[in-house]
Structures are given as structure tokens and as C-alpha cells.
Chain A
Amino acid sequence: MSRLPRGVRDAVLAVTLVFVVGSIAMLVAHASPLVGFGALFSGALGSPSELGETLVQTTALLFPALGITIAFRAGLFNIGAEGQLVLGGLTAGYVAAALPLPGVAAIPIVLLAGALGGGVWGALAGFLKARFGANEVIATLMLNVIAALLATYIVNGPFKMNGATAGETASIPHGSWLPTLIPDTRLTIAFIIALIVAALVRFMLARTVFGYELRAAGDAPEAAKRAGVDLSRTALVAMSLSGAIAGLGGAAIVLGVLHRFNTALSPGYGFIAIAVALVGNLDPLFVTIAAFAFGVLQSGALSMQSEAQVPKDVVAIIEGVVIIALAGRRYFSRGSDR
């Protein structure tokens, strides 16, 4: 089966699941699915400002999902996008608040710093895998916890910044904030950057020699090794890139949304992004669409709760079921889907 029909099939399955599971959950919560979904969609897409907020969520999910896409395509189950995103945000927050150059000039440097922070965190797992054969699932999962605690320590401990409240860095000068796209929303050019990264990742995978070797390592490691692909090096580079893109996402939240680093930076974007990447069938084009769909769920959840009295946890239930269904499908169809 080729990639495209499978991507479409997965998308249809995901959308069907969203409505079926969502309706059941709403009925259990004594609410009308029609009213519930109506509130959810109008809350997410009903006005320019609501659409803006949806795209903010889309952006926050798209960066880590693209990082995960690279790692998964290389056959590496990077569960650590959350930690990589936090580390990227932390690095960006410190560099931005401490940097002597104010204004727009700081933006690219801060974004790069974020990518570097996340990249180092990803590279660490990649190194453990390449050098010692450590299972990357375990390594990245544990690095998530370390990242969260490290951030808490740095922000509150000896590196606490002057004038900063608990759990945060000092705020970033207004001139270094990312420019907004829609006035009076939190939507910034980070969304455009995410789309550019998506296009670059797609191009890298399809057209470059490195992308070819990376896909070979993921799809048929034994054949790739015999074909001269250095599996260790590929794992290291793929994990670094994966982490860098997640870290860039963290930096984008810091520079565009919070304007400081906060330990509560991510409500689990790095985990939801795993589902986004899988629903998007690990193709950056579909991953982008999936990120938007999950962005709708994320941003519509609150208005669903306030307007239709449906607990916003229904969205968490929907996301959970989609993740289990698609991850399970992938797992069970491995090998048989030939």
C-alpha cells in the first residue's frame, strides 16, 4: 500500500473516531453531542480571534510533531518531544531575557538558541542509542522528567533572575516579541515559521541523500546497514534534528505567546504531538493538517465547557482514544501491511 491512501485512510478513521467517541462521551456527560460539537467548532473557528487562537495551538503542536516525524521515520520512537520542547523554551527564555541586543535582531538568535537547547536534549538520547544501544523510548521518556525538574531548578534555584516571579524567567523586552499575524490575537509569525519547517522537513525526507538514508534506516535497518548507511550516525543526527525542531517550538511559545519562560509552558504538547504525527502518517503535509485538527480540539474545548456544559475533559478522552487506536493500528499492522 502506498503512503498516500494509507494517510487518507488513517485520517478518515481518526475523524470518525473523534465524532463517535466524542458523542458517546458527551451523552455520558448528559449533554447533546450536537450542541457540544457545535460549541466546540464555533469556539475554535467562529471568529478571526478564535481562529487565531486555534492556529496558536496548531503551531504549538506542529513543531514537536514535525520533530517526532523525523525521528519516527528514522525508526526511532522519540517520546521525548515534551522534554526537548521545555529545554528549548528554557534556553530561549534565558537568552532572550539576558541578551544585550533588544529588538528584532534578537529574534533569530533566540530561536536558534531554542533549537540548540532542544537539539542537545534530543542528541543526548541519540548518543545513548548510538553509543550504548540504549532504548530510545526509555531514554527520552526519562529525559522528559529530567527536563521538567531541571527547568524548575534553574528557574527557581541559583539561576533565578532578578525581578522574576516563581517558576518563570524575567519577561522579554517588548521589542523582541514575535510579530503578530492577526491583530489582538496571540497568533504570531511562529505559525509561518512552522509551515516553512514543515515544507523543509518534507523536502529533506524526500529529496536529500540524508533523508533517503534516514528513511532506509527506519524502513529496513538491516538492508540500510548493508547499503553503507551508518546507523549510529543517522540515529544521532535524526534525534538532534528532532529535538531541535521541538526546541524551536518551545522558543516560539516563549517569544510569541508567554514572553517569558514558564515551567508550565506546555500542557503536554510534546505528547499530543505524537498523536498528531501518527494521525498525519509521518508525512509533514498530513501532519500539518492533523496539527490543525488537534488545534481545533484544543482551542474549542473551553468554549464547549462554558457554552454547552460539556466537561473539557471530553477532548482529552477523544485525543486519548485516537492516540491508542492509531498507535495500536500502526503497531499491529507492522509487517502485515505489505
Chain B
Amino acid sequence: MGENGAGKSTLAAIAYGSVAADEGTIHVTGVVGLVHQHFKLIERLRVWENVLLGCEPRRGLAIDVPAARLRVRELCAAYGLELDPDARIESLPVAVRQRVELVRELQREPAVLLLDEPTAALAPSEIDAFFITVRALAARGTAIVIVTHKLAEVIAHADRVTVMRSGKIVDSMRVSDTTVAAIARAMVGGDLPTIAARIPTETMPALAVTALRAGTGAGALIEANFEVRAGEIVGIAGIEGNGQSALADALAGMIPYSGDLTFAGTPLFARVSPAARILLGMRAIPQDRHKEALVPDWSITDNATLGRQRTFRSGILRDRARATAFAQSIVERYDVRPPNAHARIGALSGGNQQKVVVGRALESDPRFVLAYQPTRGIDIGAAALVQSRLIEARNAGVAVLLISFELDEIFTLADRVLVMFGGRIVGTFERGALDRARIGALMAGAR
């Protein structure tokens, strides 16, 4: 375990042999296998071609295809994993692709199997199935090392946990002898920041979405009807690719859509520009920080005013004094490091970049904030701060729509949870009546 940038993946890569160690040695008996967080499969090829790449059974100069197929089937049977050897990778869902990766490593009969963030892209039900497989492998005598930042998974499935921080191993303990709080403390190197308390708010209508349809293809939004009220956080739970991006883009005015959007009593037609929406008080924390939110080569100050460049001006000139003061206030309130508003934002860590993106949205008198994966890829400390500020904004009467692929985040923040699947809202849960199992099932397409 460890936060982003703690050195977990590097250690795994060194153990696997794809990165050379500067010094020191690693002792291992047998072969080391590694399943990467981002799968390294060739999309256009079939399952057996991917699994046996580099060690195909041959007959003369040609590949012995029937033998290859048989070999993959045997492997699958031996490990109890279900795979069609002839399926093309591009046609397979994420969970099945992961199985292909697993089988590919298993055919080398590893004594140690490293799994780097194996559950990042899986639905809750798939995660359970995945850990059953992993347990079975361990029972056969394989040493399993799981690299993860999800505390709950470690507590539920691991025997021992080793915590890394800033490139060093800081603690190692038996899971049965420790607690979530103790592991978290070791990861952050201190007490976890507490998240702001939610206070009762009097909600008012803010955003109304009726029969909204947007986007094309697999990630299209087919139909959405919901309301986000001022003073509440509405969470959209769902697995990536079920229409969330089309919804976010439609709300931001980035793509055409049909249906009715009403914000603060004003109808928002598709032709209403992003600039006009910003003027109405709509803000966004985009999903892709690097591409959609920031200009990496610019300073913190210049990035802080992005979106409100027409506000920070005097005549045709930029009001640099006010821009710097605004950036400085974000830097202080959000504990951005380095605390220098003139620093180039591309040089900051992901967490600190995100603090600027969140800060400029929340500190600019927003009436509505769309937070799309607001804590993706940032460390626990920064994530807690971002979540706290979102709750404070809600307490202050901002309407917040939270789209997240992490159920824990939704449960922490949302007053109401909508579940999205296949471009539709398939369930609604009030905060008092959250049913984790039911939500997980709906996310995976259950009816």
C-alpha cells in the first residue's frame, strides 16, 4: 500500500525485471509475474495470440494453432479461469481482459505474482470474483503481491500489508493485527485529515435535467432525468463508459444535446456557449486534469483565472494584481505546494494541480459545480481536502453534481445517489437508504 508516487509500481517493476535497480538486490525463488495496472495486450490479436506471444508452439516454421488453442484451454482449466482462446481482445470487457493478462503470466508458472492496482477498472461484483480467483492461486502455493491504494481491499483480502511512503517501506504488519486507521496513518505519515461535517441545508431548485440525450456510440447518454438542488451533493455512481462523459460534456456546453436543461430558472439550450454557462455560475472540475483543465506550461496564477479571464480584467488588459491575489488565496486555502503562485503548474504533483483546479471552481462564487472524478490519481491528504471543500461548498448552498467511479467517494459525499448504466439513470438512493449491494448490482447492469 501507499499513496500515489510512493514508489509501489517502481518496486514492482524492479522485482519483475523491467526496471533496473540502482543498487541493492532482490532474492526470488522461481519466476516473477506481473500484471500491469494498464493492460499490455494487443487489441487486434486473439486471446491465444496474446497469451502465448513469444512462446507459440510451432510446427516447422508455422505456428501450431490447434496446439496453441489447446494450451490456452488447459491453462484456463487448470486455474479455473474462463476464456475463449479465439476471442479478439478488442471485443472483450475489462474484467475478461484482466483474466487474459493473468493467464499470460500464469503460463510462465510464477512463484511470485505481482498485481498492480488490479481492481482499478473493475465493477464491485467483478472485484469479488477477482479476489476469489486470487485466493485460489494463493492456495495453490503462489505468492501474491497486490499493489493498491484501496484500504478496504487490503483489510478484506490480504494476509499481510506493507506500507510505502516517499519511496521507502515504512511499516509491515499482519492484517489481523492492525486497523484501517493504523494503515492510513502509516501511508500519510500522520493523522488523516478529517472531512468537513455536513450541516442540514435548506435546498432550493438549481439544475433540472429532463429527457437529456447526448453523444454517440458506446458512451452515449440515452436518457437522463434528475434534479440537483442548491445545498446538496448528487452523486452519479457507475462504471466508466456508461454515459457519464456525455452527461458532463452536455452540461458544460461542449457537445450538442437534446432534451431540456434548466439552470436557476434559465433554459440552457445546446447553443448556449461554455462562456455563458460560466457567467451563470456553472463551474466544472473536469475529469482529465491535464487536457481539459490546465495549461501545463503556464503558472498557477494564469491557470487559476482560466475560465474567468473576462472577470479578471480591466478594460482589454488582464488585471494581473487581482489574478495573483486570487491565485495566492487558493494556494493558501488549499495548501498548494510549492506555495508560490508564479510556479509552473506542470511542475506540481497531481494532487497539487488538482487543488488549483478545485480551488478555482469553488472559490469563484459558484452556484453549480460539476465534479467529475475530483480525487482521481491524487494522494489521500489532497483527496480528503478536496472532499472537505466540496462538502463546505454544499453547506454554503452550492448545487454539486459528483460523478465518480469510486463508490466509497460517492458514499462519503453524496446526499443522493443516482446509478448510471448503459446511458441511463437506473436507480436513485437517498443518503439514509444507501444499499451498497444493490447499487453495485445496478452498476453492473442488473435489473
Residues of A whose CB lies within 8 Å of any CB of B are 2-3, 207-210, 212-213, 215-216, 219-220, 222-230, 338
Contact = CB atoms under 8 A, between A and B. Distances in A.
Residue of A207, A212, A230 with highest tally of chain B CB at under 10 A: A212
Given A208-B316, A209-B309, A209-B310, A230 B295 contact: no
Nearest to B298: A219
Contacts of B292: 222-223, 226
Given A209-B316, A224-B306, A228-B273, 20 more contacts: A207-B317, A207-B318, A207-B320, A208-B318, A209-B309, A209-B318, A212-B309, A216-B306, A216-B309, A220-B296, A223-B294, A223-B295, A225-B274, A226-B286, A226-B292, A226-B293, A227-B274, A228-B276, A229-B275, A338-B346
Given A2-B344, A208-B316, A209-B310, A226 B302 contact: no
B317 A208 contact: yes
B318 A226 contact: no
Interface residues of B, number: 31
A3 B181 CA distance: 45
Contacts of B316: 208-210
A195 B346 CA distance: 33
13 contacts: A207-B318, A209-B313, A209-B316, A209-B318, A219-B297, A223-B286, A224-B295, A224-B306, A225-B254, A228-B274, A228-B275, A228-B278, A229-B275
Contacts of B305: 212
* Secondary structure type dominating chain A contacts: helix
B307 interface: yes
Interface string B275-294: 11110000010100001111
B361 to A, nearest CB: 11
B35 interface: no
Nearest to A210: B316
Contacts of B34: none
A291 to B, nearest CB: 24
A24 B286 CA distance: 53
B403 interface: no
Given A208-B317, A209-B309, A227-B306, A220 B294 contact: yes
A2 B297 CA distance: 7
B1 interface: no
Contacts of A230: 273, 275
A283 to B, nearest CB: 13
A213 B346 CA distance: 19
A223 B303 CA distance: 10
Contact of A227 (B309, B313, B318, B344): B309
A229 B275 CA distance: 7
B252 interface: yes
Contacts of A216: 295, 306, 309
Contacts of B277: 228
Contacts of A209: 309-310, 313, 316-318
Contacts of A2: 344
Contacts of A219: 295, 297-298
Nearest to B284: A226
Contact of A213 (B252, B294, B309): B309
Nearest to A206: B318
A99 to B, nearest CB: 32
Interface in B253-279: 254, 273-278
Contact of B310 (A207, A223, A225, A228): A228
Contacts of A213: 309
Contacts of A338: 296-297, 346
A191 B296 CA distance: 36
A229 B307 CA distance: 8
Contacts of A228: 273-278, 307, 309-310
A226 B285 CA distance: 10
A212 B318 contact: yes
The residue among A223, A224, A229 with the most chain B CB atoms within 10 A of its own CB is A223
Interface string B141-169: 00000000000000000000000000000
A219 B302 CA distance: 12
Contacts of B291: 220, 222-223
A226 B360 CA distance: 14
The list of the 8 closest CB pairs from A to B, nearest first, reads A228-B275, A227-B307, A220-B295, A227-B306, A219-B295, A228-B274, A209-B313, A228-B278
B302 A212 contact: yes
A210 B305 CA distance: 14
A312 B286 CA distance: 55
A68 to B, nearest CB: 20
